[in-house]
């Protein structure tokens, strides 16, 4: 088997086999068929990516078809949102179509099925029909109306269409087999009476086709070659084929290609709800501000929070196409946006929880505009000027009066480097009557070549711009909030999913535009929210620089244990990094991404003295060297000073045969 064949997913194998068996390539046609009853969410991106990805791979058309057969739940707002989201992801559809376009044709085919004795009007209550349906282990029983004459069925069906009957009095059912092991084959409903205004056809129709009847025949009308859907539709395939095979006899001259349904595992994401009905409940009960609330897993919510099309497409690529259901850790999605924004987002300085620093030996009336690099990952990003003055803000957590040798930030008697500026030394503090520190008095040193371990971000108080920052956390505290029997998913809401704070940002951000994305140095990635105006800057936190839930997760799991577990000695961060490195090159791409995210998180617990001995790792242990390089890159970002040993390790890696190692090294060289 060739390497190219090995790399194909199972759907591509099916297509390649069909092409080899005579299907003309120009007959390939795909579709994405959302129901416009809500906004698209992250789970839909897999189906979107598969169908549109195949269209790109095979240069085949992809239709965007709205399966709009339930006017009670569907709205034009959802149609517009779906189109906007797919276009934002970067996909282009061949035709914009609607199942409602086919209502006349579907009705006429239903009439033909009645004439052929394959459909009948049932006048029972829904409760009676449900009782006759049987169970998975017990066969169903026939309706007393199953043997109505063709003439009576045609008359009743036409009168249903004419609006002569109240809703619920009659339905049209396919006449298949009430004893079929697949309960979907037990005379399924094809049409029901519904007096509801349709967003496209208005009040023209008062009978509406059911999904199983509409969906497959719409595929057939559009001559879709491969109808791709998620695994929950696998039991529907038998019914899909029954409808298709019967209608094929009515239209094969004009519509020669019957579609083929195939199923893939849908995308399930931890800490996330994927039900549009439940997401609607969050909106209606005002738990969130709307479908585009940045805490929502909707595409519009992710976009507003600062996620990029590229990060979502890369996430779908890493998830892959599978036949079995599984749950993807949301940290992989967060890893993908970090990777993307790391390359594209300009670095700026902002202080979210400020404490005042007075540099006592800096002249009171002096100010300087210092040069700062916008993005060390992007040579074309250039530089900007940031103002420096006697009084600045730093983060409260970046100062301690007394601290151990492991604390590499500012402490009394200690020195740190201010990013893009000078080295300062803390000499004294001013406290209020409650003992709270209100000022830190420091002196600065113009000799910036000195070796100091810590680097802090800061903002000049005189020049600072006030901004509202919305810090978002996961909306649910449970990994699977809708999987608990007897409990409502709303019970697992995170009460701290939104924290609004007043922050201070450097003046270069005063003119930031809605949607622009930045890395607030040492804090995370942020974007300008839709609510931002020229008078009031509003930023959303997209994601932190590292996975803050990695540490919380064991705590949350431990809290749910019925019995206390014996304590185990915690492995050191450097030993975990080594262990991850040993297996790194053997991992598939998605596991490599998760391992990399874990290494980045662990790096903040590693000292240079821990890491430096691993610079001499044997050449054949490529995985360990990759892990060390990832950790080193993170430590350099956080203020580690480069020295000869670091430079030698990087230069040696750049000459290595392992492509992953070379890539990681090139990003910090």
Q: What amino acid positions are annotated as catalytic residues?
A: 35, 266, 276
CA distance 142 to 159: 24
Contact (CB, 8 A) for 105 and 213: no
Spatial separation of the C-alpha atoms in residues 49 and 448, rounded to whole Å: 50
- C-alpha gyration radius of the chain: 31
65 closest CA partner among 192, 211, 230: 211
Contacts of 265 by beta carbon, 8 Å cutoff, 6+ apart: 230, 231, 321, 322, 323, 324, 325, 326
For the CA atoms of 624, 628, 633, 636, the dihedral, rounded to the nearest 10 degrees, stands at: 180
Q: At 94, is the secondary structure helix, strand, or coil?
A: coil
Those residues whose C-beta lies under 8 Å from the C-beta of residue 4, and which sit 6 or more positions away, are none
What H or E segment, with its residue span, contains residue 620?
none
Q: Report the relative pairing of strands 415-418 and 423-431 from DSSP bridges.
A: antiparallel
CA atoms within 13 A on the CB side of 518: 25
Whether residue 348 contacts residue 520, with contact meaning beta carbons closer than 8 Å, is answered with yes
For residues 67 and 134, give the distance between their C-alpha atoms in angstroms, rounded to a whole number: 29
Rounded CA gap, 388 and 459, in Å? 8
By the 10 Å C-beta count (0-12 exposed, 13-18 middle, 19+ buried), 590 is classed as: middle
| DSSP of 538-579 | EEEEEEESS-THHHHHHHHHHHT-SSPPPP-PPPPHHHHHHH
The DSSP symbol for 267 reads P
Could you give the CA distance from residue 335 to residue 328 in angstroms, rounded to a whole number?
A: 12
Structure letter (DSSP) for residue 571 = P
Count of CB atoms situated within 10 Å of the CB of 450? 10
HEC letters along 160-176: HHHCCCCCCCCEEEECC
- Cα–Cα distance for residue pair 442/424, rounded to 1 Å: 6
* Phi-psi map region of 434: left, alpha, beta (phi>0 left; psi -120 to 50 alpha): alpha
List of residues 6+ apart from 136 with CB closer than 8 A: 181, 183
Is residue 100 a contact partner of residue 133, using CB atoms and an 8 Å limit?
no
Task: Determine the 3-state secondary structure of 13 from DSSP.
Answer: helix
**Beta strands 350-351; 498-505: pairing state:** antiparallel
Question: How far is residue 666's CA from residue 662's CA, in Å, rounded to a whole number?
Answer: 6
- Tell me whether residue 220 is exposed, middle or buried, using C-beta atoms within 10 angstroms of its C-beta: 0 to 12, 13 to 18, 19 or more: buried
Q: Quick check: helix, strand or coil at residue 237?
A: helix
Task: Judge whether 261 and 241 are in contact, CB under 8 Å.
Answer: yes
Answer whether 60's CB lies under 8 Å from 40's CB: no
């Amino acid at each position: 088997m060739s390497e190219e064949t090995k790399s194909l997913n199972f759907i591509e194998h099916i297509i390649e086999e069909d092409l080899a068996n005579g299907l003309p390539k120009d007959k390939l046609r795909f579709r994405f068929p959302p129901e416009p009853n809500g906004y698209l969410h992250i789970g839909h991106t897999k189906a979107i990516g598969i169908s549109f990805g195949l269209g790109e791979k095979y240069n085949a058309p992809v239709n965007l078809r709205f399966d709009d057969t339930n006017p009670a739940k569907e709205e034009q707002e959802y149609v517009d949102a779906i189109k906007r989201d797919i276009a934002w992801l970067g996909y282009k559809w061949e035709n914009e179509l609607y199942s409602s376009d086919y209502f006349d044709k579907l009705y006429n085919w239903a009439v033909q099925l009645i004439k052929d004795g394959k459909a009948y009007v049932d006048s029972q209550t829904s409760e009676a029909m449900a009782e006759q349906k049987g169970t998975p282990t017990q066969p169903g029983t026939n309706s007393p109306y199953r043997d109505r004459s063709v003439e009576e069925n045609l008359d009743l069906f036409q009168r249903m269409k004419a609006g002569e009957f109240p809703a619920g009095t009659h339905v049209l059912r396919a006449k298949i087999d009430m004893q079929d092991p697949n309960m979907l084959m037990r005379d399924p409903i094809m049409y029901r009476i519904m007096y509801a205004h349709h967003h496209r056809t208005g009040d023209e129709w008062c009978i509406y086709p059911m999904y199983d009847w509409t969906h497959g025949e719409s595929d057939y009308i559009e001559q879709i070659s491969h109808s791709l859907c998620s695994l929950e539709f696998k039991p529907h395939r038998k019914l899909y084929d029954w409808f298709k095979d019967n209608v094929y006899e009515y239209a094969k001259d004009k519509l020669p290609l019957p579609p083929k349904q195939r199923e893939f595992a849908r995308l399930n994401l931890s800490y996330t709800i994927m039900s549009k009905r439940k997401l609607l409940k969050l909106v209606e009960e005002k738990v969130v501000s709307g479908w585009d609330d940045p805490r929502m897993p909707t595409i519009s919510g992710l976009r507003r929070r600062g996620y990029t099309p590229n990060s979502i497409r890369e996430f779908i690529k890493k998830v892959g196409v599978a036949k079995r259901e599984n749950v993807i850790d949301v940290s992989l999605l967060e890893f993908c946006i970090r990777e993307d924004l790391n390359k594209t987002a300009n670095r700026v300085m902002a202080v979210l929880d400020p404490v005042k620093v007075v540099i006592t030996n800096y002249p009171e009336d002096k100010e300087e505009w210092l040069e700062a690099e916008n993005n060390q990952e992007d040579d074309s990003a250039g530089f900007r000027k940031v103002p420096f003055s006697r009084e600045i803000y730093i983060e409260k957590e970046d100062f301690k009066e007394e601290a151990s040798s492991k604390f590499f930030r500012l402490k009394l008697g200690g020195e740190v480097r201010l990013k893009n500026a000078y080295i300062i030394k803390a000499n004294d503090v001013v406290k209020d009557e409650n003992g709270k520190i209100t000022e830190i008095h420091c002196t600065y040193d113009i000799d910036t070549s000195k070796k100091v371990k810590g680097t802090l971000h800061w903002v000049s108080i005189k020049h600072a711009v006030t901004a509202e920052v919305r810090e978002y956390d996961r909306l649910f505290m449970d990994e699977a909030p809708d999987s608990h029997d007897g409990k409502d998913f709303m019970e697992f809401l995170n009460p701290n999913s939104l924290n609004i704070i007043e922050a201070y940002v450097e003046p270069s951000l005063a003119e930031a535009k809605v949607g622009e994305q930045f890395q607030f140095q040492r804090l995370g990635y942020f974007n300008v929210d839709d609510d931002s105006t020229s008078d009031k800057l509003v930023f959303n936190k997209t994601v932190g620089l590292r996975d803050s839930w990695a540490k919380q997760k064991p705590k949350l799991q431990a809290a749910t244990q019925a019995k206390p577990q014996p304590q185990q000695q915690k492995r050191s961060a450097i030993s975990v990094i080594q262990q991850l490195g040993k297996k790194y090159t053997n991992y598939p791409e998605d596991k490599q991404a998760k391992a990399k995210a874990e290494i980045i998180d662990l790096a903040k617990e590693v000292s240079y003295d821990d890491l430096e001995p691993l610079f001499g790792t044997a050449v054949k242990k490529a995985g360990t060297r990759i892990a060390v390089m990832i950790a080193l890159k993170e430590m350099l970002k956080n203020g580690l000073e480069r020295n000869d040993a670091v430079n030698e390790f990087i230069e040696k890696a750049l000459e290595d045969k392992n492509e992953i190692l070379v890539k990681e090294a090139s990003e910090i060289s």
